[in-house]
C-alpha cells in the first residue's frame, strides 16, 4: 500500500499544482494533507478552494487555526501575524471558508501511525484549549521534552509537517531509558528522492517539509512523503517547479510583498 503525505501549502497554488501532478504520477492508495492550507502567502483563497474540492483527509495546522481566529500568535511573530490577518480578511469574504478551517480535525489515527500537523504530544483533546504554544518547532529541546512520551507511544510512525524542513527522526531505543543520542536524524540535501530503509524495531517521526514554503532549508521545491507499507520504506520527495509566476503574483501584492519574511523567503529567489 502506498500512502502519500503533503502539507504546509500556505497559499502557493503553483507548488500545490506540482505536488498534485506528482500525486497522479505516484497513484497512491491513500492521501493525507498535513495542514496549513493557508497562511504566509496572500493567496489562501486559491489553495483553500482547491483542497476543499479534492476532499483529502486534512488535519488543522496552526496557520489554519490562527486565520480562523481560534487563537493568536506569539507577540514577536509580527510578520506571521500580518500574513494571518491578511488571509483572515480575504477568506472572510468567501462563505464557509473560515468554518471549514475551524472544523478540520487535529489528527487522524491508524493502528500503525498518527497524522498531525506537528506533534501528537502537544495537542489537547479540546480545540478551545489549543494555543500557539502547541506548535513549537522540533528542535533538540523539544525532542528532549517529548522523548519519554515518544518512547511510550504505541504508534510506530508519526507523520507531520510544520517545521518546513524534511527529515526522518528515528528512535532506535524503546526502553524507558531512551536518550537523545538514541535518535538518528535522516535529512535529504537537494536530491529529488531520498529513501530511508526502516528498522522493524525503531520508531519514526517523519517531518514532510513544506509544499508551498517558506523553505527553511533553502531548497526552492515542494516537499512530500511516501510510505510504502509493502517495502517498509519512507521516501522524501523534492518536487521542483517554476517559481516565476508565484514571484510575479507576490510582487503585485502591495501589502504582502513588503513583509520581510516573504521578501526573504520568496522574492530573494528572483
DSSP summary character for residue 174: -
DSSP summary character for residue 129: G
Residue 114 — very low, low, confident or very high, per pLDDT cuts 50/70/90?
A: very high
* pLDDT score at 174: 65
Q: Look at 9-13, 55-59, 144-148 and tell me which has the smallest mean pLDDT.
A: 144-148
For the cut 90, the answer to whether the pLDDT of residue 249 exceeds it is yes
* pLDDT score at 175: 64
- Rounded Cα gap, residues 26 and 47, in angstroms: 21
* pLDDT score at 216: 94
The domain 2-240 is classified under which CATH number: 3.40.605.10, 3.40.50.10710, 3.60.21.10, 3.90.79.10? 3.60.21.10
Q: What is 55-89 written as a DSSP string?
A: --EEPPPHHHHHHTTSSPPPTT-HHHHHHHHHHHH
Per-residue pLDDT tens over the stretch 48-94: 999 999 999 999 999 999 999 999 999 999 999 999 999 999 999 99
* pLDDT score at 177: 72
* pLDDT score at 124: 57
What percentage of the chain reaches a pLDDT higher than 70?
96
* pLDDT score at 205: 98
* pLDDT score at 180: 81
* pLDDT score at 219: 95
Per-residue pLDDT tens over the stretch 203-232: 999 999 999 999 999 999 999 999 999 999
* pLDDT score at 270: 59
Question: Mean pLDDT, the chain, as a whole number?
Answer: 94
CA atoms within 13 A on the CB side of 175: 5
* pLDDT score at 51: 98
C-alpha dist (Å) from residue 20 to 24, 72, 163, 239: 6, 31, 21, 10
Backbone angles phi, psi at 94, to 5 degrees: -110, 110
For the cut 70, the answer to whether the pLDDT of residue 126 exceeds it is no
* pLDDT score at 52: 96
- Rounded Cα gap, residues 127 and 104, in angstroms: 10
- Rounded Cα gap, residues 10 and 102, in angstroms: 16
* pLDDT score at 112: 96
Contact (Cβ atoms closer than 8 angstroms) between residue 79 and residue 85: no
Tell me the mean pLDDT in the region 170-185. 82
pTM: 0.95
* pLDDT score at 247: 94
C-alpha cell at 183: 535518535
- Rounded Cα gap, residues 210 and 222, in angstroms: 6
For the cut 90, the answer to whether the pLDDT of residue 130 exceeds it is no
Amino acid at each position: 500500500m502506498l500512502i502519500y503525505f503533503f502539507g504546509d501549502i500556505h497559499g502557493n497554488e503553483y507548488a500545490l499544482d506540482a505536488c498534485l501532478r506528482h500525486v497522479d504520477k505516484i497513484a497512491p492508495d491513500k492521501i493525507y494533507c498535513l495542514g496549513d492550507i493557508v497562511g504566509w502567502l496572500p493567496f489562501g483563497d486559491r489553495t483553500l478552494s482547491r483542497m476543499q474540492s479534492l476532499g483529502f483527509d486534512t488535519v488543522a495546522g496552526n496557520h489554519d487555526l490562527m486565520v480562523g481566529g481560534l487563537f493568536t500568535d506569539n507577540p514577536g511573530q509580527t510578520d506571521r501575524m500580518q500574513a494571518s490577518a491578511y488571509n483572515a480578511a480575504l477568506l472572510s469574504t468567501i462563505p464557509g471558508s473560515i468554518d471549514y478551517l475551524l472544523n478540520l480535525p487535529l489528527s487522524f489515527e491508524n493502528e500503525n501511525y498518527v497524522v498531525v500537523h506537528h506533534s501528537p504530544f502537544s495537542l489537547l483533546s479540546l480545540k478551545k484549549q489549543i494555543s500557539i504554544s502547541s506548535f513549537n518547532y522540533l528542535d533538540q529541546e523539544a525532542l528532549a521534552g517529548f522523548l519519554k512520551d515518544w518512547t511510550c507511544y504505541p504508534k510506530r510512525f508519526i507523520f507531520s509537517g510544520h517545521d518546513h524542513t524534511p527529515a526522518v527522526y528515528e528512535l532506535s531505543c524503546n526502553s524507558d531509558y531512551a536518550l537523545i543520542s538514541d535518535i538518528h536524524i535522516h535529512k535529504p540535501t537537494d536530491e529529488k528522492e531520498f529513501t530511508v530503509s526502516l528498522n522493524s524495531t525503531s520508531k519514526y517521526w517523519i517531518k514532510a517539509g513544506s509544499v508551498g514554503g517558506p523553505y527553511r532549508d533553502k531548497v526552492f521545491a515542494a516537499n512530500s512523503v511516501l510510505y510504502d507499507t509493502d517495502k517498509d520504506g519512507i521516501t522524501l520527495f523534492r518536487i521542483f517547479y517554476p517559481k516565476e509566476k508565484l514571484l510575479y503574483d507576490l510582487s503585485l501584492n502591495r501589502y504582502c510583498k513588503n513583509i520581510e519574511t516573504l521578501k526573504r523567503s520568496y522574492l530573494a529567489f528572483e
